Structure 1
Amino acid sequence: MSTMAIRPLLILLALTLGLCAARAQEPSARPDLTLEPPMFVDQVRVGELPPLAGRLPDPPRVINVAARGGEPGRYGGTLRMLMGDPRDIRMITIYGYARLVVFDENGRLVPDILEKVDVEESRVFTFHLRRNHRWSDGQPFTAEDFRYWWQDVATNERFNPGGPPMQMVVDGEKARFEVIDATTVRYSWSKPNPGFLPSLAAAQPFTIAMPAHYMKQFHQRYADPLKLSALVKMERVKDWGALHDRMSRSYRPENPELPTLGPWVPLTNPPAEFFVFRRNPFFHRVDETGRQLPYIDKITMAIGTSSLIPAKVGAGGADLQARYLRFDNYTFLKEGEERGNYTVRLWEQGVGAYVAIVPNLNANDPGWRDVLRDVRVRRALSVGINRRDINQVIFFGLGHEGANTVIPGSALYDSKYDTAWAQYDPALANRLLDEAGLEQRDKDGIRLLPDGRRAEITVETAGESTEETDIMELVGDDWRKIGIKLHVRGTQRDLLRRGVIAGNVKMSVWQGLDNALASPDMSPVELAPSNSMQFQWPLWGQYADTGGREGEKPALPAAAELSGLAERWRQSKTGEEREAIWKRMLEINADQVFTIGVINRTSQPVVVSNRLRNVPDVGIYSFEPGAYFGIYLPDTFWFDDATGKE
C-alpha cells in the first residue's frame, strides 16, 4: 500500500471532482434504462422513481474503478456477512464509508458527499454541497439539514446542556455557523480547528447534518404537541428528547425509516437475527461508465454466536468476512477454500500493536503505582520480552517484533520509534530493575518491591482471544527470568474497563494505537492523556477530558508535556507545525514506554468469495483511518455472475 500522508487540505479539498458522468446522464424524454440497476427498472417505468439522471446529484462523485486497479462491474447480487452481536449492524455504516469528506487510500482528505471544501487558515471551512443531492427517501439534501443540526440539536440545551460537541468548540469559542445559500454552509472560528475535517472523515463519523424533513416530527419546536406526545408513549421513552435521540441514530442504523446518504439502507427493525440492507436509489457515486454505485443490490448480516463464525465462514457461509476471524483461524480457513468457494487473503492490521501490555500509572496500589511510574521499570519489562520467540510460536514469524507506534505506511513512521526498548536484552533488564530499587530477591529469585512484597503482578485481559493468553504465558516465562512473577487473568471487556478506571487493575492487555497509519493532520490524542478510557493513565485522561474538573493532573513530566503538545496541535495552523508536534509525541512515547508493544503488523484473514470482484488482494485492515473495508469502497465490489446468493 502506498504511503499514507495527507497533503495540505486547502489544495486537495478545493478540487472539484469530474463532471463527465453527470453530463452523460442528462434527462431525456425516454430515459436510458440500460444504465439503470435492474432492481429499479420497473419503478422507473411506472413513475415510482425518477430515472437515473433525476436521482443523481449534479455532479455525482465519479469513481474511476479501473484507475483503482479494478474493473467496472455489473449490477446485482446479495452480499452475505456474519456478525456476532446485533450492534454490529453499525458495520454497514463503517464499511459503506460515505462521509462529507473521506480519506483515500493515500491518506489524503478528499470530498465525498460534498462537492468541495474551501479551507482558510485551518479556521474557516466552506462546504459546497452537490446540487440536487437527495436523501435515500428522495427528499433534497440541503443547507437546511446542516442548519437543523446546529441550531436545533447541537446548540439545544435539551441535547447538549454543556454546549456544542467538542469538535465545534475551540478554546471555549463555539463555531460561527452561516448558511450562504441552499447548497453552501460555512463554519468558522477565530483560531484554528485542525481536527474538524478529520473528525468528519472518521470511521465513526462526527455527524453535523440530519434529515430535517424527517426529524422535525420528533422535535418539540416543530411537531404537533399531541402527535409528539403520542409518539413518546408509543415508543415508551421518557420524553421528546429521548425520542429524538432514538429516531436519529445513524451510526448504528436501528431505524429503517431514517433517511440516509449511504450506499445501502436498512430494511429490518431490531431486535432481529437477520438484517437486510438494500441499495440506495439516490446514492451519489457512479463509476466511469456512468453506472450508479453500489453494484451490489443487497447486503445481509446474520447474527449468531461469535465463536462459531469461523466455522460458518469455512463452510462457505459468507461472501466477505474479516470480523470475528483471527490469525489462528487461518489454517482452518485455508483448508476450506475449495469447499467454500472462497479465497483467504492476508491483510496487514493497521494498529500500533496486535498486543500491548499497559501498566496503569493510576493504580490504587501505592507500591506498584510508584514502581510502574519509574521509567526504568517500564523499559526493563519491555527489553525483558523475547519478541522473536513470540512471533515464531504464535504468528509463524509473519508478525513484526516492535514497539507500539506508527507503522510503515504512515508519513510519520521512523524505525527509531519502532525499535526503542524493543530489543531482547535480559541483562539490561536486570540492570535497570536493580537501579530502580528492586535489587532484593527472595529465595525463589522473585524480586521484592520497596515495601517488601514479592514482585508479583496480575495482568488482566478482556478474555476474548486465546492468542492474548498464549502470548502472555510466553511473556510470563521471560519476566520470570528477570525476577518478575506474572499472573494472567481473563475477564469481560466492560469489567476490565471499569477495573482500570477504578484503579483496581494494575496492568492490562489491549491492542496498541488504534491509528498506526497517522498523518500530521490527524489528531494525536491517543498519544497524550485525553480521556478516561486510556488504560495507561485513566485519571490523567479524565482530567484532560473534563478540563480539570475530574480526575488527576498528570504527575509525570513526560505525560504533562504530552498534554501540552496535544493542546498545541489543536491550535496549530500549518502542516509543518503539526508534523513537528506529532514527531515529538511519538518520541516521548517511544522513550517512556507508557505502553509495551509486543508484536505489530500482524496478518488479518480476509475471506472473499471467488465470485466477488474488486476486493484488493493486499490491504490494510484498520478502523482508523480507513473504516476497515470502507477505504476500498465496497460499493465498487461486484459479483461476476450478478446473482449473489440469497
Structure 2
Amino acid sequence: MRAAARLLLAIVVTAALLAVLLQAVAYATWWLSGAGSTPLADLSVLVAPQRAPEDALVRHTVSEWPPERPRIFREAPALQALVSAGQLPPVAQRLPAEPLVITPPQRTGPYGGVWRRLARDQTTDLQVQILWRIGYEPLIRWDTMGRGFEPNLASQWIVDDQATTYIFRLRRGVKWSDGRPFTADDILFWFNDIICFEELVRTPPNELQRGGTLVQVEKLDELAVRFRFAEPYGLFPRFVASSIWATDMVGSPAHYLRQFHPRHVDRQKLQADARAAGHNTWQSFFEEMRSWRNPGLPTLMAWQITVPPPALQVVCQRNPYYWKVDPEGNQLPYIDTITFDVTDAETLMLRAMSGEVGMQFRGLSPDRYPLLMERQSSGGYEVRHWVGGAGVVIALNLNHRDPALRAVFNDRRFRIALSHAIDRDEINRIALYGAGEPRQCAPSRASPFAYEPLAHAHIEHDPARAAAMLDELGLRLARDGVRRLSDGRPLRLAIETMETNSAVVHLVAEHWTRLGVRTDVKEEARQLFYARKAAALHDAVATVGGAEGDPVLEPRFYLPHNAESNQAVLWAQWFQSNGRQGEAPPDEVRQTMDLYRQIERAPDPRRQVELFHRILQLNAENLWVIGTVAGMPVPVVVRNGGDSRGRYEKFWNVPDVAATEWVFRSPGNTAPECYSITTQEGQ
C-alpha cells in the first residue's frame, strides 16, 4: 500500500512539474519571439479606429430554391467518391425538396480544407463552439447583425394577432445525417418524451410557460407544428432563435433516441443496457446518447462530430445530408473538416498570433489586443472588428446577509457615489488601450433598445462629489483611511471575479479604496466563482455585460431576472418562481419585473422597446449595477494569406462585421456553412 501511495505521489508530482515546464516554455517562446516587447508608446497605432456598427458590407443572403428550377446539384469531391462506391445516394436524393439557398458574399467555393480552431477545455467551451455557435441551426435563425430572423429549418412561420398561437412549417424533405427524414414527429418527441417527461425534466423551461401553464405543442401534419400559449407571448420567436432548448428541439431525432427511452422500449431491458454501458440509471444513459459528444447521434448541423473528447484534437466532418446549397446548386458546407485543439488560455493566444487558427474570436483575450494587431503580417491573418463591446459590470449584492452592508448597498446614493469614484478614462487607457468608451451597463447604441440616458448616467469621475455623498450617508472616514459602517466596523468589500476581468477590476478596487471603501479583489476559478454568487455569498461580483443588441432575451443586468442577476439572486428567485421562493423585492425593483412581464406579452416590437426603455429609465435613476468601460470591438482572427513560416491559407465569405452577442450565436448567424478556404495564392 505504501509503495503504491509513493508511486501515485510521484506520478502527481511529475505531472505537475511537466505542466509548469510546458507553461514556462510557452511564456519563454512568447518573450523570445519579441511578442512581449511592444513599447507602450506604440500601442496607439495598433488600435483599430472606432467604427459605428451600422451594417456588414460583406454578408450572406438567404433565399429559396425556385420550384421550377431543375434539380441539378453538385457535391464535395469526398462525397462524390462515396457515391461512386455505392456508400451514399446521389446528391439530388440527399438534398430536400426545398433546399435553403445561401448566397456567399464573396465567392463560390472552393470545396475542401480544414478549419482549425482552438478550445480552452473539453467540456463547456467545446460544447458552446460545436453545438450552440458553429452548429447553430434552429427553426429560425438570427441574421448577421442580429436585427431580424431568417428562415432556416422552418421555411415559414405564422403568428396570430394576439401572439398566443405560432405555427412553424418545416422545410420539406430535410434529412438527418443518417438519411432519415426530419418531421414534426421529432419535435413532438422532444416535447412529449423529454420536456414533459418528469424523469428527465423536472421543471420545464420558463420560456415555454405562460400564465403558469406549459405551452401546448401539436402536430398539424408531417411538416407543421403549432405552439399554443395561455397568454400572449410576443417574445416567443426570439427564444426560438436563441434558446438552448430550441437547439434541443431540433436536435432530438426520435427514430434514434426512442431506443433509449422507457416509453418506447422495455424499462428492465433499458436499465440493463444502461448498466452494460457503465451507467447507474437509464436517464444518464439517455443523456449520453443525446449528447453532442456522441458521434452516433444523427444531426442536422453542417458538420458532425467524428472524434469526440477526451481526444485533445476534436474533429467534425461534413454532414453528407446537409440541406443547404449555394445559388449554383453546390451542396454546402464548402469546408470538409473542423478541428478543435484543446489547450490553455495562454497557449491559445500564442497559437492564434502564430496563424494557427483559420477564423476565431472566442478565447481571444483583450489583454493581448495590441500584440494580436501587431502580429497580423507574420501570422498570415487579419483582425476584423465585430460588434460586441460588452464591458466589465460590477454588481453589489443587494441581498447581502450582513444587515449593515445590505443597508448601505441598497442605498442608491452609495452606488452612485461608487460610480463617480471610478476613473473610467484611466481604465480605458490602461486596460483597454483607448479602444473603449466610458459607459454604464446599457444596450448598444446600434440596438433598437438603445437608451443613452442610462449609458451616460453618473459616469463623471468626481471623487469629491463621491466623498460628499458617503459623508452624507454617515460613513465617516477614520484615520486609517477607511470609512466606518453604522456599527463602527470598517467598510470593506471584496469584488469576486474571474481572471479575464482582473485588469479592470483591480483599477476599480484602487479607485474605491481611495474613497475610503477598502476594496479587495478575489480572482476565483470558474466553479467556485459561480457557486458563491449563486448562493449570494459575495459582496460584489464583476462580470462582462451591457452593449447588448437584444437585451430583452437576457435582461439580467436590468432587473433580477435569473440566477445570473448577481445584484439580487434572491429577488430573481422570487421573480422566476412567481413569489414561491426567494425574497420579495422593493417596489421600484418590482416595477421593472412588472414591465418585463408586459414586454413578454406585447406582440408589437415597438411596444416592447417602449416598455424596455421604462425599465432602463428606472436603472438610470437607481444604478442597480455599475458599468465601467464598454464599446471595444470584438477582435476576430481571419487567415488571409501567407505567414512567416511560408504557409498560405485564406478564408473567404467571412463578414467584415457581425453581431457577436451570445443570443445571436455568432458566428452561426453569419452562415459558416458558406465559409471557404484557399491554400494557394491565386486559387
| TM-score normalized with structure 2 length | 0.85
Alignment partner, residue 10 of structure 1: none
Q: Which residue type is aligned with residue 496 of structure 2?
A: E
- Describe the shift of the 1:480–1:229 C-alpha distance in structure 2 as closer, same or farther (beyond 3 A): closer
Q: 2:112 aligns with which of 64, 72, 76?
A: 76
SS of structure 1 residue aligned to 2:193: helix
- Describe the shift of the 1:519–1:23 C-alpha distance in structure 2 as closer, same or farther (beyond 3 A): farther
Alignment partner, residue 12 of structure 1: none
Q: Answer yes or no: is 1:579 the counterpart of 2:619.
A: no
Q: Answer yes or no: is 1:527 the counterpart of 2:558.
A: yes
Are 2:388 and 2:548, in contact at CA under 8 Å, matched by a contact in 1? no
Q: Answer yes or no: is 1:448 the counterpart of 2:484.
A: yes
SS of structure 2 residue aligned to 1:349: coil
Q: Answer with 272-281 or 331-340: which moved more.
A: 331-340
Task: State how far apart, in whole Å, the 2-side matches of 1:401 and 1:561 are.
Answer: 28
Q: Which residue type is aligned with residue 337 of structure 1?
A: Q
Task: State how far apart, in whole Å, the 2-side matches of 1:606 and 1:383 are.
Answer: 33
Alignment partner, residue 26 of structure 1: 71
Equivalent residue pairs, number: 609
Are 1:327 and 1:603, in contact at CA under 8 Å, matched by a contact in 2? no
- Describe the shift of the 1:183–1:469 C-alpha distance in structure 2 as closer, same or farther (beyond 3 A): closer
- Describe the shift of the 1:507–1:126 C-alpha distance in structure 2 as closer, same or farther (beyond 3 A): same
Task: State how far apart, in whole Å, the 1-side matches of 2:512 and 2:88 are.
Answer: 67
Task: State how far apart, in whole Å, the 1-side matches of 2:403 and 2:230 are.
Answer: 45
- Describe the shift of the 1:618–1:166 C-alpha distance in structure 2 as closer, same or farther (beyond 3 A): closer
- Describe the shift of the 1:152–1:478 C-alpha distance in structure 2 as closer, same or farther (beyond 3 A): closer
Task: State how far apart, in whole Å, the 2-side matches of 1:523 and 1:80 are.
Answer: 31
Deviations 1:199-250 (A, max 9, x none): 221163523242110011001121255652342012222322222222112x
SS of structure 1 residue aligned to 2:385: strand
Q: Which residue type is aligned with residue 482 of structure 1?
A: L
Q: Which residue type is aligned with residue 675 of structure 2?
A: F
Deviation at 1:508, TM superposition (A): 1.7
Deviation at 1:270, TM superposition (A): 2.8
Task: State how far apart, in whole Å, the 2-side matches of 1:278 and 1:195 are.
Answer: 35
Q: 2:549 aligns with which of 517, 520, 523?
A: 517
Task: State how far apart, in whole Å, the 2-side matches of 1:517 and 1:101 are.
Answer: 18
Q: Which residue type is aligned with residue 458 of structure 2?
A: W
Task: State how far apart, in whole Å, the 2-side matches of 1:359 and 1:474 are.
Answer: 17
Task: State how far apart, in whole Å, the 1-side matches of 2:556 and 2:522 are.
Answer: 29
- Describe the shift of the 1:58–1:642 C-alpha distance in structure 2 as closer, same or farther (beyond 3 A): farther
Q: Answer yes or no: is 1:484 the counterpart of 2:517.
A: yes
Task: State how far apart, in whole Å, the 2-side matches of 1:145 and 1:111 are.
Answer: 19
Task: State how far apart, in whole Å, the 2-side matches of 1:190 and 1:343 are.
Answer: 50
Deviation at 1:194, TM superposition (A): 2.4
SS of structure 1 residue aligned to 2:356: coil
Q: Answer yes or no: is 1:636 the counterpart of 2:666.
A: no
- Describe the shift of the 1:341–1:205 C-alpha distance in structure 2 as closer, same or farther (beyond 3 A): farther
- Describe the shift of the 1:487–1:416 C-alpha distance in structure 2 as closer, same or farther (beyond 3 A): same
Task: State how far apart, in whole Å, the 1-side matches of 2:605 and 2:262 are.
Answer: 43
Alignment partner, residue 504 of structure 1: 537
Task: State how far apart, in whole Å, the 1-side matches of 2:266 and 2:350 are.
Answer: 52
SS of structure 1 residue aligned to 2:628: strand
Q: Which residue type is aligned with residue 171 of structure 1?
A: G
Alignment partner, residue 565 of structure 1: 595
Q: Which residue type is aligned with residue 533 of structure 1?
A: E
Q: Which runs of 5+ in 1 are unaligned?
A: 5-15
Alignment partner, residue 325 of structure 2: 286
Alignment partner, residue 218 of structure 1: 260
Task: State how far apart, in whole Å, the 2-side matches of 1:485 and 1:297 are.
Answer: 55
Q: Answer yes or no: is 1:406 the counterpart of 2:448.
A: no
- Describe the shift of the 1:618–1:115 C-alpha distance in structure 2 as closer, same or farther (beyond 3 A): closer
- Describe the shift of the 1:507–1:542 C-alpha distance in structure 2 as closer, same or farther (beyond 3 A): same
Q: Map of 1:56-71 to 2, 5 A cutoff? A: 56-66=95-105, 70-71=106-107
Q: 1:303 aligns with which of 325, 342, 356?
A: 342
- Describe the shift of the 1:159–1:382 C-alpha distance in structure 2 as closer, same or farther (beyond 3 A): same
Task: State how far apart, in whole Å, the 1-side matches of 2:181 and 2:671 are.
Answer: 24
Are 2:441 and 2:557, in contact at CA under 8 Å, matched by a contact in 1? no
Q: Which residue type is aligned with residue 19 of structure 1?
A: W
- Describe the shift of the 1:595–1:274 C-alpha distance in structure 2 as closer, same or farther (beyond 3 A): same
Q: 2:309 aligns with which of 270, 276, 291?
A: 270
Deviations 1:344-398 (A, max 9, x none): 33334243xx211110111111111110100000011011111111111222211
Are 1:326 and 1:604, in contact at CA under 8 Å, matched by a contact in 2? no
Q: Which residue type is aligned with residue 211 of structure 1?
A: P
Q: 2:571 aligns with which of 530, 537, 540?
A: 540
Q: 2:360 aligns with which of 321, 326, 338?
A: 321
Q: 2:582 aligns with which of 551, 555, 576?
A: 551
Are 2:75 and 2:330, in contact at CA under 8 Å, matched by a contact in 1? yes
Are 2:443 and 2:551, in contact at CA under 8 Å, matched by a contact in 1? no
Q: Answer yes or no: is 1:417 the counterpart of 2:454.
A: yes
Q: 2:274 aligns with which of 218, 232, 240?
A: 232
Q: 1:133 aligns with which of 174, 178, 189?
A: 174
SS of structure 2 residue aligned to 1:115: strand
Task: State how far apart, in whole Å, the 2-side matches of 1:363 and 1:376 are.
Answer: 17
Task: State how far apart, in whole Å, the 2-side matches of 1:2 and 1:355 are.
Answer: 20
Are 2:651 and 2:678, in contact at CA under 8 Å, matched by a contact in 1? yes
Deviation at 1:459, TM superposition (A): 1.5
Task: State how far apart, in whole Å, the 2-side matches of 1:347 and 1:385 are.
Answer: 27
Are 1:391 and 1:400, in contact at CA under 8 Å, matched by a contact in 2? yes
Deviation at 1:593, TM superposition (A): 1.1
SS of structure 2 residue aligned to 1:71: coil
SS of structure 2 residue aligned to 1:621: coil
Task: State how far apart, in whole Å, the 1-side matches of 2:493 and 2:190 are.
Answer: 49
- Describe the shift of the 1:205–1:409 C-alpha distance in structure 2 as closer, same or farther (beyond 3 A): farther
Deviation at 1:552, TM superposition (A): 1.0
Q: Map of 1:468-483 to 2, 5 A cutoff? A: 468-483=501-516
- Describe the shift of the 1:519–1:497 C-alpha distance in structure 2 as closer, same or farther (beyond 3 A): closer
Q: 1:150 aligns with which of 187, 191, 203?
A: 191
Q: 1:373 aligns with which of 410, 417, 426?
A: 410
Q: Map of 1:461-472 to 2, 5 A cutoff? A: 461-462=497-498, 464-465=499-500, 468-472=501-505
Task: State how far apart, in whole Å, the 2-side matches of 1:419 and 1:156 are.
Answer: 48
- Describe the shift of the 1:43–1:248 C-alpha distance in structure 2 as closer, same or farther (beyond 3 A): same
Alignment partner, residue 495 of structure 1: 528
Task: State how far apart, in whole Å, the 1-side matches of 2:289 and 2:189 are.
Answer: 15
Are 2:556 and 2:564, in contact at CA under 8 Å, matched by a contact in 1? no
SS of structure 2 residue aligned to 1:427: helix
Are 1:117 and 1:125, in contact at CA under 8 Å, matched by a contact in 2? yes
Q: 1:606 aligns with which of 636, 656, 663?
A: 636
- Describe the shift of the 1:457–1:420 C-alpha distance in structure 2 as closer, same or farther (beyond 3 A): same
Q: Which runs of 5+ in 2 are unaligned?
A: 1-51, 56-61, 641-649
SS of structure 2 residue aligned to 1:550: coil
SS of structure 2 residue aligned to 1:81: strand
Alignment partner, residue 627 of structure 1: 665
Task: State how far apart, in whole Å, the 2-side matches of 1:192 and 1:278 are.
Answer: 42
Task: State how far apart, in whole Å, the 1-side matches of 2:516 and 2:375 are.
Answer: 45
Q: 1:98 aligns with which of 133, 137, 156?
A: 137
Q: Answer yes or no: is 1:428 the counterpart of 2:471.
A: no
Task: State how far apart, in whole Å, the 2-side matches of 1:203 and 1:308 are.
Answer: 31
Are 1:501 and 1:539, in contact at CA under 8 Å, matched by a contact in 2? no
Q: Answer with 150-159 or 80-89: which moved more.
A: 150-159
SS of structure 2 residue aligned to 1:500: helix
Alignment partner, residue 616 of structure 1: 655
Deviation at 1:489, TM superposition (A): 1.9
Are 2:53 and 2:387, in contact at CA under 8 Å, matched by a contact in 1? no
